């Protein structure tokens, strides 16, 4: 039986400062992250000792050095938030890693909460900038200078499932799911075949099928083996092939359908061979076809469009869910997946109120028609970027939202609550609640541990190897009986 698909996302945001000739992205990121303040600010370290980014899921360790910043740099670059998330500087980008959640709907809520947190800190950072300059943040995947930055998904999986099987069944799924996960993009990059418009911001940047790298020769399937949980029981599938989505429907389906497919892989429920003859070529072909009708070639000689290929995965998922006791959320994802594929088969433009790439295409085509410009216009490229602008009064996605032209999955009230409070059904609840209750005594944090500095005693590290333990149900009584961190640590040992 497949294990629950605890999941999360890591979003790297684009950053620039208008009218700053000496713009330094790293110092700007540090300013941005530190501009965000919560009720009980504390200097908490991110526990790099618990990380091993050089472990490969294929069973070996890659040569290289693990970077560990000194204590001052660590504190300056990292914030662990009371909602259980991590907000930090990753290379030259601000990054928000949402807390662990158990379903696609909560994933939408907490990823959207990240947008609000970044926008709050942007406004605060702007107060500290020289007059005439302004920091801008974009939830997109390319700076138009050949640099791509990621939206990474993470899913808890059973370590007993062979990585070879994961690759075999996921590769065609990832190549074809762009039809609903794409954020839309004007033109091509990275020596990609010229096109006016494509589905995905990331597709042009994938150059190999399977590898550990995330920045050079990017693979469709990443092999990082860093479970952030009990290593004997779990693996964390680190997915780097997705786009940074604005539309709630795209986020919901991106994570919901993927979680279902991963459960099917664990349970051996995929009994068809969808292997592609050339996945790297196919991912670009699918992205460059806004009609969604171009066929890709399978190893067995069949030719299917991306929508047809997704339809076959959907058919297997429907059979899988019918034969099992599953939570209602899985059935809701299935129903939504089916409706979206049906519309894509008829006419993708029917989904202009739901999917990012379609909404953006409709906006741009309307502008081109009104202004009499073409796809190569700098104004069109600016519209592409402005769709992802996090400023509520400037971002084109938010304009569509205000006008009621984009469908919602969650409510503003749910998102606002998630800015300040963790999910209640994973260990993120314990992490976030510890920060809120004992913030000044928290010394260090990682996804699977939290350490306390209590008086002159040695640092006390509490392990959280089980992602579903530490939920509100598990620990609320513990918190009620532990008014101080010292009592918490004592009660945990008793």
Q: What is the per-residue DSSP string for 166-202?
A: HHHHHHHHHHHTHHHH---EES--TTPPP-SEES-SS
Task: Please say whether the beta carbons of 252 and 336 come within 8 A.
Answer: yes
Tell me how far apart the alpha carbons of residues 74 and 30 are, in angstroms, rounded to a whole number. Answer: 11
pLDDT, residue 54, reads 77
Handedness of CA 422, 427, 433, 434 (dihedral sign): negative
Q: Is the pLDDT of residue 404 over 90?
A: yes
Q: Name the helix (H) or strand (E) containing 491.
A: helix 485-493
Tell me how far apart the alpha carbons of residues 221 and 214 are, in angstroms, rounded to a whole number. Answer: 10
Structure tokens at 282: 């196919």
Angle at 289 between CA 208 and CA 342, to 5 degrees: 110
> Which residue among the candidates 20, 49, 90, 213 is catalytic per the annotation?
90
R_g (Cα) of the chain, nearest Å: 22
Beta bridge partners of 78: 88
Q: Is 209 helix (H, G, I), strand (E, B) or coil?
A: strand
Under the banding of pLDDT at 50, 70 and 90, the label for residue 40 is: low
- The position carrying tokens 């150059």 is 207
Nearest Cα neighbor of 95 from 150, 160, 176, 132 is: 150
Contacts of 110 by beta carbon, 8 Å cutoff, 6+ apart: 8, 83, 85, 98, 99, 101, 418, 423
| 177-212 per-position pLDDT tens digit | 999 999 999 999 988 899 999 999 999 999 999 998
CATH 3.30.590 domain range(s) in the chain: 7-38+81-364+367-416
Structure tokens at 75: 């504190």
Under the banding of pLDDT at 50, 70 and 90, the label for residue 391 is: very high
Residue 210 main-chain phi, psi, to 5 deg: -140, 125
pLDDT, residue 213, reads 78
Q: Is 113 helix (H, G, I), strand (E, B) or coil?
A: helix
Q: For the chain, how many residues are written? A: 494
Q: Name the helix (H) or strand (E) containing 102.
A: none
Q: Is the pLDDT of residue 454 over 90?
A: yes
Q: Is the pLDDT of residue 407 over 90?
A: yes
Tell me how far apart the alpha carbons of residues 125 and 115 are, in angstroms, rounded to a whole number. Answer: 15
Contacts of 75 by beta carbon, 8 Å cutoff, 6+ apart: 43, 44, 45
Mean pLDDT of the chain: 95
Q: Is the pLDDT of residue 85 over 90?
A: yes
Q: Please state whether 475 falls in left (phi above 0), alpha (psi between -120 and 50) or beta.
A: alpha
Tell me how far apart the alpha carbons of residues 274 and 130 are, in angstroms, rounded to a whole number. Answer: 55
| 223-239 per-position pLDDT tens digit | 999 999 999 999 999 99
Residue 450 main-chain phi, psi, to 5 deg: -145, 135
Q: Which CATH class is domain 7-38+81-364+367-416?
A: alpha beta
Strands 45-46 and 442-446: parallel
pLDDT, residue 276, reads 98
Beta bridge partners of 236: 156
Tell me how far apart the alpha carbons of residues 23 and 281 are, in angstroms, rounded to a whole number. Answer: 36
3-state helix vs strand vs coil in the chain, percent to 5: 40, 20, 40
Q: Mean pLDDT across the stretch 248-259?
A: 98
pLDDT, residue 326, reads 75
CA distances from 453 to 233, 456, 481, 488 (A): 30, 8, 19, 12
Q: Percentage of the chain with pLDDT > 90?
A: 88
pLDDT, residue 327, reads 80
Tell me how far apart the alpha carbons of residues 354 and 334 are, in angstroms, rounded to a whole number. Answer: 16
The predicted model scores a pTM of 0.97
C-alpha torsion 105→107→113→115, nearest 10: -110
Under the banding of pLDDT at 50, 70 and 90, the label for residue 261 is: very high
Tell me how far apart the alpha carbons of residues 189 and 208 are, in angstroms, rounded to a whole number. Answer: 16
Under the banding of pLDDT at 50, 70 and 90, the label for residue 41 is: low
Q: Supply the DSSP symbol for 312.
A: H
pLDDT, residue 325, reads 76
Helices (H) and strands (E) in the chain, counts: 16, 20
Q: Mean pLDDT across the stretch 415-432?
A: 98
384 is known as an active-site residue: no
Task: Please say whether the beta carbons of 11 and 151 come within 8 A.
Answer: yes
Q: Is the pLDDT of residue 63 over 80?
A: no
Task: Please say whether the beta carbons of 85 and 114 come within 8 A.
Answer: yes
């Amino acid at each position: 039986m497949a294990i629950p698909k605890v999941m999360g996302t890591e979003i790297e945001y684009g950053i620039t400062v208008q009218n700053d000739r000496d713009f330094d992205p790293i110092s700007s990121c540090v300013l941005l992250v530190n501009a965000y303040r919560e009720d009980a600010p504390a200097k908490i370290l991110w526990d790099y000792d618990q990380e091993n980014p050089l472990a490969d899921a294929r069973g070996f360790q890659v040569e290289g050095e693990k970077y560990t910043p000194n204590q001052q740099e660590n504190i300056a670059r990292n914030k662990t938030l009371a909602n259980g998330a991590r907000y930090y500087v990753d290379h030259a980008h601000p990054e928000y890693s949402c807390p662990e959640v158990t379903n696609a709907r909560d994933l939408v809520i907490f990823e959207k909460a990240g947008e609000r947190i970044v926008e709050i800190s942007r406004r605060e950072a702007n107060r500290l900038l020289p007059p005439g300059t302004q920091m801008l943040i974009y939830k997109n995947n390319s700076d138009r200078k050949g640099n791509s930055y990621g939206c990474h998904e993470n899913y808890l999986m059973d370590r007993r499932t062979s990585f070879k099987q994961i690759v075999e069944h996921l590769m065609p799924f990832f190549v074809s799911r762009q039809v609903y996960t794409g954020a839309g993009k004007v033109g091509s990059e990275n020596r990609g075949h010229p096109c006016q418009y494509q589905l995905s911001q990331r597709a042009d940047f994938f150059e190999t099928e399977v590898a550990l790298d995330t920045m050079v020769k990017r693979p469709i399937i990443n092999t990082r083996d860093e479970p952030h949980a009990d290593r004997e029981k779990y693996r964390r599938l680190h997915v780097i092939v997705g786009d940074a989505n604005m539309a709630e429907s795209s986020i919901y389906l991106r994570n919901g359908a993927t979680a279902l497919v991963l459960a099917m892989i664990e349970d051996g429920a995929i009994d068809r061979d969808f292997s592609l003859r050339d996945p790297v070529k196919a991912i670009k072909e699918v992205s460059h076809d806004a009609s969604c009708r171009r066929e890709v070639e399978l190893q067995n000689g069949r030719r299917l469009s991306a929508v047809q290929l997704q339809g076959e995965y959907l058919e297997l998922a429907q059979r899988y869910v019918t034969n099992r006791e599953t939570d209602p959320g899985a059935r809701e994802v299935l129903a939504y997946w089916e409706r979206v594929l049906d519309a894509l088969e008829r006419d993708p433009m029917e989904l202009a109120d739901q999917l990012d790439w379609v909404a953006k295409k409709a906006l741009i085509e309307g502008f081109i028609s009104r202004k009499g410009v073409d796809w190569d216009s700098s104004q069109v490229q600016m519209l592409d970027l402005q769709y992802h602008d996090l400023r509520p009064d400037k971002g084109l996605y938010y304009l569509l939202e205000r006008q009621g032209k984009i469908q919602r999955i969650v409510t503003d009230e749910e998102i606002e609550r998630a800015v300040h409070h963790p999910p209640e059904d994973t260990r993120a609840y314990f992490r976030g609640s510890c920060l809120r209750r004992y913030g000044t005594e928290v010394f260090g944090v990682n996804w699977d541990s939290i350490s306390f500095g209590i008086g002159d005693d040695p640092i006390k590290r509490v392990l959280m190897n089980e992602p579903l333990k530490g939920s509100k149900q598990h620990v609320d009584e513990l918190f009620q009986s532990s008014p101080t961190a010292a009592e918490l640590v004592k009660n945990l040992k008793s």
